[in-house]
Amino acid sequence: MRRFVAAYGTALAGLAIFVFLLLVARNFATAANLLNVLKHTSFLAILSVGFTFALITAELDLSFAGLCSLAAVVTGGLVHGGTYWPLAVATGLAIGIAGGLLNGILVTRLKVPSLIATLGTASIATGLAFMITRGVAFVGRWDDEFLALARGKVAGIPTLTLFMAAVVGLGWLVTRHSRLGIHMIATGEAEEEARRAGVATRRMKVIGLTVSGAMAGVAAVLLVANLSSAAPQMAGDYLLNAIAAVLLGMTMFEPGRPNVAGSFTGALIIAMLANGLVLMGAPYYIQDIMLGVIVIGSVSVSASVLKKAAFSI
Amino acid sequence: MTAILSVKGAVKTFGAVEALRGVDLRIAPGEIHAVCGDNGAGKSTLIKLVSGVEQPDAGTIRLRGEPIAFASPHQALEAGIATIYQDLGLAPRMTIYQNIFMGSELERRLLGLKYLDKLAMREESRAWLDRLGIDVTSVDTPVENLSGGQRQAVAICRALRWNAEVIIMDEPTAALGVRETEHVLDLIRMLKQQGTTVVVVSHNMTHVAALADRATILRSGRTQTELSLDGVTPETLSRLILSGAAA
Ligand SMILES: Nc1ncnc2c1ncn2[C@@H]1O[C@H](COP(=O)(O)OP(=O)(O)OP(=O)(O)O)[C@@H](O)[C@H]1O
Ligand SMILES: [Mg+2]
């Protein structure tokens, strides 16, 4: 019973919040609004899965939002300038991957603690994003095919939802059912012991941070296609939201360990709460307070890998 | 006797420290062999040489009569020598079966894609634990929930999984209570019964006398004595280690 509550308590609380909002918040239960929540969840969940991969190997990635903004303005800028859109998309993804790889190299080769290394890359990425846009935004009427990446539907399902499902599903399979996944978990849980048992722990950390960067690239492309515009800092709000989703996720399913199913559920709960609070007329600053409470609350009840990561600085 | 594992004239220096200055060791197949000596005598260094963690400056190591040189612990493992250090090398929050298979997971293929064969790993873990007479409710239990003796058993299972013929244990009972210690001594006896050769480093002469067939006593980086322990009392052993003279 206690184990059940520990593993599923947060998810059940999320379900209770959902039911509460259905009953109480006006307009929450409309199809349009629920689709809106799902849309917000999609971006959040993709970034959260990336952050989860880094955190599983006991490394923090504070750069994913900055990388996402940079990848977004580059993708947007290229599309805006008339570049063939698949090329622009590939460039955006490449920026995310390269940024993540850079983090991995800084952490494993130059031994810069990930908190510091990724804070640095975040600042560099943000600076570059402002440099590229000269501080303004790219807005335009862009290629319909490009916009359809985020606004289209396949068999009635929004493409955003499909991308999220693919990321979450693949992430779950890799972390739960592959040798790569168990090696990443072992790296985060007991680096020295894992290394002695033949696990390539440094490579696992590089992969974790690179996946986080890659997901920033994916989210960037989708954000830009969804808004048909690109601005520096456009992903800034996702930093704390995604971190909160992952930390909240660590109180579920595999308590104390970052896990993809938990991160997804956490993203869903946070997107739902944010939406519900607005609908119920709560002032905007309530959301910041809520995120802060979630971040601190989740880590204080579990999160031993994170405590370890923060201690290793 | 043909030794399964032997060391002749091993020398190892660390900077100005001569940790080993000519050590001989002969391990007979199937025996429990104790390596004894005072603090700093060179026991751990000797273990590091035969487990591939360090390479000797001089001297030869032979496995079944063949000279060998291990560049890494992994090579020693593959040759059938598994070493369990005092910290056991387990990940506390991972499960029993995940620890037993850490770094050598079993996989299956589905449409060309490889995935973890958890079922087989669970079953095999259960079988290894049964072999050692260890009773745990589930192989999905995190190692941190186990007793010291059970953890030692998990570490032994991991060694056995490599088909280790020689298992080396550095201070296996140092951190354990009385009952747990008995448990680990029984485990070691069971390994012997099943044909595994065991090398144990220990400071506890009562255990050594009760458990081991023979002992090698190191003193200041040299082999001082190698003796059969038939009828040898713990007191005699202690005197040998301290005084360097046979009683
Ligand atoms: N890596 C090292 N660098 C420098 N000196 C070392 C190193 N390893 C061992 N020594 C020295 O070599 C000598 C033998 O050490 P060793 O650890 O082999 O002794 P031991 O018999 O295992 O002792 P104990 O019973 O305390 O574990 C000691 O003087 C030790 O300080
Ligand atoms: Mg020692």
User: What's the pLDDT tens digit per position in A10-20?
Assistant: 888 889 999 99
B217 — pLDDT class (breaks 50, 70, 90):
very high
Chain B contact for A26 (CB, 8 A cutoff): no
Separation of CA A228 and ligand 1 centre (Å): 67
Q: What confidence score (pLDDT) does residue B246 get?
A: 46
The pTM of this model reads 0.87
Separation of CA A53 and ligand 1 centre (Å): 40
Separation of CA B19 and ligand 1 centre (Å): 6
Separation of CA B40 and ligand 2 centre (Å): 7
- Residue B141 is encoded by which pair of tokens? 């239990």
Separation of CA A200 and ligand 1 centre (Å): 28
Rounded to whole angstroms, how far apart are CA atoms A176 and A254?
11
Q: Supply the CATH classification number for the domain A2-311.
A: 1.10.3470
Residue B120's Cβ-count burial label (10 Å; 0-12, 13-18, 19+) is middle
Which residue from B73, B93, B98 is facing A196, i.e. has the nearest CB?
B73
Whose CA is closest to atom 5 on ligand 1? Answer: B14
Helices A201-227, A159-177: inter-axial angle, 10-degree rounding? 170
**Rg (alpha carbons) of chain A, rounded to whole number:** 19
Whose CA is closest to atom 30 on ligand 1? Answer: B40
Whether residue A311 is predicted with pLDDT greater than 50 in this model: the reply is no
Q: What confidence score (pLDDT) does residue B244 get?
A: 59
Would you identify the CATH topology of the domain B5-80+165-243?
Rossmann fold (3.40.50)
Q: What confidence score (pLDDT) does residue B55 get?
A: 94
Cα B113 from chain centre: 37
Residue A1's Cβ-count burial label (10 Å; 0-12, 13-18, 19+) is exposed
Closest residue of A to B78, CA-based?
A198
Nearest listed ligand to the Cα of residue B41:
1
Chain A environment of B75 (Cβ under 8 Å): none
The ipTM assigned to this model is 0.88
Of A99, A95, A136, the C-alpha closest to A118 is A99
Domain boundaries, chain B: 5-80+165-243
Q: 3-state secondary structure string, B81-124?
A: EEEECCCCCCCCCCEHHHHHCCCCCCEEEECCEEEECHHHHHHH
Decide which of A232 and A141 is more confident.
A232
Whose CA is closest to atom 3 on ligand 1? Answer: B14
Of A40, A41, A59, A87, the C-alpha closest to A212 is A59
Average pLDDT, chain A: 92
Rounded to whole angstroms, how far apart are CA atoms A249 and A264?
7
Residue A130's Cβ-count burial label (10 Å; 0-12, 13-18, 19+) is middle
Which residue from A185, A193, A198 is facing B104, i.e. has the nearest CB?
A198
- A190 and B104 within 8 Å at the Cβ level: the answer is no
Which amino acid, residue A263? S
Q: What confidence score (pLDDT) does residue A135 get?
A: 80
Which residue from A177, A185, A197 is facing B103, i.e. has the nearest CB?
A197
Whose CA is closest to atom 16 on ligand 1? Answer: B42
Chain A environment of B118 (Cβ under 8 Å): 177
pLDDT digits (tens, 9 = 90+) for A103-123: 999 999 999 999 999 999 999
Of A113, A6, A21, A129, the C-alpha closest to A65 is A129
Q: 3-state secondary structure string, chain A?
A: CHHHHHHHHHHHHHHHHHHHHHHHCCCCCCHHHHHHHHHHHHHHHHHHHHHHHHHHCCCCCCCHHHHHHHHHHHHHHHHHCCCCHHHHHHHHHHHHHHHHHHHHHHHHCCCCCHHHHHHHHHHHHHHHHHHHHCCCCEECCCCHHHHHHHHCEECCEEHHHHHHHHHHHHHHHHHHHCHHHHHHHHHHHCHHHHHHCCCCHHHHHHHHHHHHHHHHHHHHHHHHHHHCEECCCCCCCHHHHHHHHHHHHCCCCCCCCCCHHHHHHHHHHHHHHHHHHHHCCCCCHHHHHHHHHHHHHHHHHCCHHHHHHHHCC
Closest residue of A to B82, CA-based?
A197
| First CA to last CA distance, chain B | 26
Helices A159-177, A260-279: inter-axial angle, 10-degree rounding? 150
Whether residue A198 is predicted with pLDDT greater than 80 in this model: the reply is yes
For residues A223 and A72, the answer to whether their CB atoms sit within 8 Å is: yes
Distance to chain B for A183, nearest Cα, Å: 7
- A193 and B90 within 8 Å at the Cβ level: the answer is yes
Neighbours of B165 (CB within 10 A): 18
Rounded to whole angstroms, how far apart are CA atoms B10 and B57?
7
For residues A306 and A243, the answer to whether their CB atoms sit within 8 Å is: no
Q: What confidence score (pLDDT) does residue A86 get?
A: 96
- Residue B71 is encoded by which pair of tokens? 């560049």
Whether residue B179 is predicted with pLDDT greater than 90 in this model: the reply is no
Distance to chain B for A179, nearest Cα, Å: 6
Chain A environment of B105 (Cβ under 8 Å): 179, 182
- Residue A238 is encoded by which pair of tokens? 């996702």
Q: What confidence score (pLDDT) does residue A306 get?
A: 59
Cα B168 from chain centre: 2
Whether residue B140 is predicted with pLDDT greater than 70 in this model: the reply is yes
Q: What confidence score (pLDDT) does residue B247 get?
A: 40
Q: What is the mean pLDDT of residues B60-74?
A: 91
Q: What confidence score (pLDDT) does residue A7 get?
A: 85
Q: Residues with beta carbon < 5 A to ion ligand 2?
A: B 44
| Per-residue exposure over A98-117, b if at least 16 CB sit within 10 Å of its own CB, e if not | bbbbbbbbbbbeeebbbbeb
- A193 and B89 within 8 Å at the Cβ level: the answer is yes
Rounded to whole angstroms, how far apart are CA atoms A313 and A308?
9
Q: How distant, in Å, are the alpha carbons of A54, A237, A272, A306 from that of A311?
A: 16, 26, 32, 8
Residue A254 half-sphere exposure, CB side, CA atoms within 13 Å? 23
Q: Which residues of B touch A (CB under 8 A)?
A: 73-74, 87, 89-94, 98, 102-105, 107, 114-116, 118, 158
Closest residue of B to A192, CA-based?
B89
Strand order, beta sheet including B17-27: B17-27, B5-14, B58-63, B66-68
Separation of CA B80 and ligand 2 centre (Å): 22
Query: What share of chain A has pLDDT > 90, as a percent?
Result: 75
pLDDT digits (tens, 9 = 90+) for B32-65: 999 999 999 999 999 999 999 899 999 999 999 9
- B114 and A178 within 8 Å at the Cβ level: the answer is yes
B123 — pLDDT class (breaks 50, 70, 90):
very high
A313 — pLDDT class (breaks 50, 70, 90):
very low
Domain boundaries, chain A: 2-311
Contacts A–B by Cβ distance under 8 A: 55
- Residue A49 is encoded by which pair of tokens? 């899965």
Q: What confidence score (pLDDT) does residue B133 get?
A: 82
| First CA to last CA distance, chain A | 37
- A198 and B74 within 8 Å at the Cβ level: the answer is yes
| CA atoms B28, B30, B31, B34: torsion sign | positive
Q: What angle do CA B149, B151, B152 make, to 5 degrees?
A: 65
pLDDT digits (tens, 9 = 90+) for A59-113: 999 999 999 999 999 999 999 998 999 999 999 999 999 999 999 999 999 999 9
Task: List pocket residues of ligand 1, CB cut-off 6 Å.
Answer: B 14, 17, 19, 37, 39-45
Whose CA is closest to atom 2 on ligand 1? Answer: B14
Whether residue A206 is predicted with pLDDT greater than 70 in this model: the reply is yes
Query: What share of chain A has pLDDT > 70, as a percent?
Result: 96
Q: What confidence score (pLDDT) does residue B135 get?
A: 85
Whether residue B29 is predicted with pLDDT greater than 90 in this model: the reply is yes
Decide which of B149 and B60 is more confident.
B60
- A189 and B104 within 8 Å at the Cβ level: the answer is no
Neighbours of A90 (CB within 10 A): 15
